Chains A and B, each alone.
Chain A
Amino acid sequence: MTYVAQTPEQIRGLIAKAKRWDVIFVALGIIALGIGLLTFVALFLDMLIDGWARLRPEFFTQFPSRRAGQAGILSAWVGTTLVMLVTAAVAVPLGVAAGVYLEEYAPKNWVTDIIEINITNLAGVPSIVYGLLALGLFVYAFGLGQSIRTAGLTLALLILPVVIVATREAIRSIPGMIREGAYAVGATKWQTTKDHIIPYSLPGILTGVIIGMSRAIGETAPIITIGALTFIAFLPPSPVSMDFPFLSFEWLKAPFTVMPIQMFNWTSRPDEAFHANAAAAGTILVFMTLAMNGLAIWLRYRLRKNIKW
């Protein structure tokens, strides 16, 4: 093999050519980003403008109504909030525990390999399938009814794979020598997990939880499948009361509706005025998701401040 002799001019030409590609790639990147952002902004603005007239305080405090002008999202946003609470309360402990077990405790063999593949696949299963499973299992077999707890459990199942995968990824990013450092001063496996592995992976786990929750908050199909109401003019029983024992879990058994179903219901009405309601509800749903993400980013920032690699 021989080297091709090149004059300084030829080398300069090559460099210039390479630099042109740099510029072209940056331009392509900006265009791609622009298309994505513009589409979202256009859709969101369109929705905001359509629903603007309905975004008044009463919109949040009124139940749905036959008259579009008096209809509100009270039962929907309360329902969504409560369902999300149940979802998080179930999916986070289960998902984190499963992820920690798979990463820290489970032996690495073909059984865990199969489990791993299946979990990844579960994350891609269409949500309607979860809805059918929940209808058969939670509603009929367990008799939990068409209630907030059924919806919460269904969505928890739906986002469980996301939480597990995120937990495992976060744990994997912790250097092995941190574990050895803990073992070397006489920490047991559980102490190492509790004092080091979980705290250091918490920011990453949180990201996964929020990605999952953001998916769950917009889910409609599985909630319709388990039989959420589309028109509901009362709230679930309050979780706190003035009488002993002050806490009540009756709300878990209550029928409910959620934001996406309320929107779906309104968009299917022939009356144009209801479409404005749907647009307004959509805008609020977007803000609910944003608020959740914001909370996650803030929490992650707070947690990371205490962990300096």
Chain B
Amino acid sequence: MVTAMEARTQTTTHATMLGSARSGAIAPAVSDAPSPPLKAESRNLSFHYGKFQALKSISMPVHEYQVTALIGPSGCGKSTFLRCFNRMNDTVAGARVTGTIAIDGKDIHDPGLDVVLLRAQVGMVFQKPNPFPKSIFENVAYGPRLHGMTRSNADLDQIVESSLRRAGLWEEVKDRLDAPGTGLSGGQQQRLCIARAIAVSPAVILMDEPCSALDPIATGIIENLITELSRNYTIVIVTHNMQQAARVADRTAFFHLGNLVEVGPTADVFTKPKETRTEDYITGRFG
């Protein structure tokens, strides 16, 4: 079912796309493909750290089962924006949000909405792998246990196994689930964190530069995993690496100095950006 708000946003999205296709009659196929349903959307979202305004009235859609990449130079607000989706910024002193973010049409700042439930629905993977200093099993089982998602230990075992399988880690760790999660390699730790996030079966997964601490091989594995996961999850990823955005993202948003400069299908943003700032950044003239 498409709510009125979603329908409205889809129209605007299409309008943007038409705008992007202006530069040539041979628009790439992606642009013409109908947009998948909307999963989340920010509207006029502004964010302040004390007096500093980190985000300036960001309005942007996030489509279901797609990978949306947020790119931009350091300090442009892309990580802040990402952390708004699960209200991780709530813990930051002096933070203030105006505007709305809706997920499945529901405002996440609604006082009636429990932030704990929101975070069960919107998982997050961080820049540096941050497994708990506990066993691999305990790392994955922690979320499901918190939310009472299983009735029996067998169910829990199953959730842990399927989460690790989906994160592409099961084969490597199935014989040492009791070993500490922190004993794994960096790339494995990051996949463990992905397994931990998907164990509570979220709808959306936020990734904050998930590969920045990893070597190229581990990065490749995670990138393939992201593509794989996007069949079942809506993914928003912040990345510093533009090739990575080009490889994994269906849509890309370019942020600069707290503004959303441009958002559209990845191919469009990279090959025929509407804004000169986007072009300058992508071609390496600044950033």
Contacts and interface: CB of A to CB of B under 8 A. Distances in A.
B220 interface: no
Interface in A155-192: 175, 177-188, 191
B196 A181 contact: yes
A108 B93 CA distance: 8
A182 B132 contact: yes
Contact of A185 (B123, B128, B133): B123
User: A108, A175, A187: which has the most chain B beta carbons within 10 Å?
Assistant: A187
A67 interface: no
Interface residues of B, number: 29
Contacts of B120: 185-186
Given A186-B143, A191-B146, A180 B130 contact: yes
Contacts of A272: none
Contact of A184 (B86, B93, B128, B180): B86
B146 A107 contact: no
A309 B86 CA distance: 26
Given A177-B128, A177-B130, A195-B142, A185 B180 contact: no
A138 interface: no
Interface string B78-94: 00000000101001010
B200 interface: yes
A196 B196 CA distance: 15
B200 A200 contact: no
B124 interface: yes
Nearest to A108: B93
B133 A307 contact: yes
Given A195-B142, A308-B182, A308-B183, A185 B130 contact: no
A124 B132 CA distance: 36
B193 interface: yes
Interface in A285-309: 306-309
Contacts of A180: 88, 91, 124, 126, 130
Nearest to A177: B130
A306 B134 CA distance: 7
Nearest to B121: A186
B146 A186 contact: yes
A217 to B, nearest CB: 33
A107 B126 CA distance: 25
Given A181-B126, A184-B86, A185-B197, A200 B146 contact: no
Contacts of B182: 308-309
Most central of A177, A183, A186, A188 by chain B CB within 10 Å = A186
A187 B147 CA distance: 9
Interface in B140-178: 142-143, 146-147
Nearest to A308: B180
Given A183-B91, A186-B119, A308-B182, A178 B146 contact: no
B196 A185 contact: yes
Interface residues of A, number: 23
Given A186-B119, A187-B146, A181 B180 contact: no
B93 A185 contact: no
B196 A309 contact: no
B119 A181 contact: no
Contacts of A186: 116-117, 119-120, 143, 146-147, 200
A187 B124 CA distance: 13
Nearest to A196: B132
A306 B183 CA distance: 12
B91 A178 contact: no
Contacts of B93: 107-108
B133 A184 contact: no
Interface string B177-204: 0001011000000000100110110000
A188 B115 CA distance: 9
B147 A184 contact: no
A181 B88 CA distance: 10
Interface of B: 86, 88, 91, 93, 116-117, 119-120, 123-124, 126, 128, 130-134, 142-143, 146-147, 180, 182-183, 193, 196-197, 199-200
A-B residue pairs, 4 tightest by C-beta? A185-B143, A308-B180, A186-B120, A184-B124
15 contacts: A178-B130, A178-B132, A180-B88, A181-B132, A181-B193, A184-B86, A184-B197, A185-B142, A186-B116, A186-B143, A186-B146, A187-B116, A188-B116, A309-B133, A309-B182
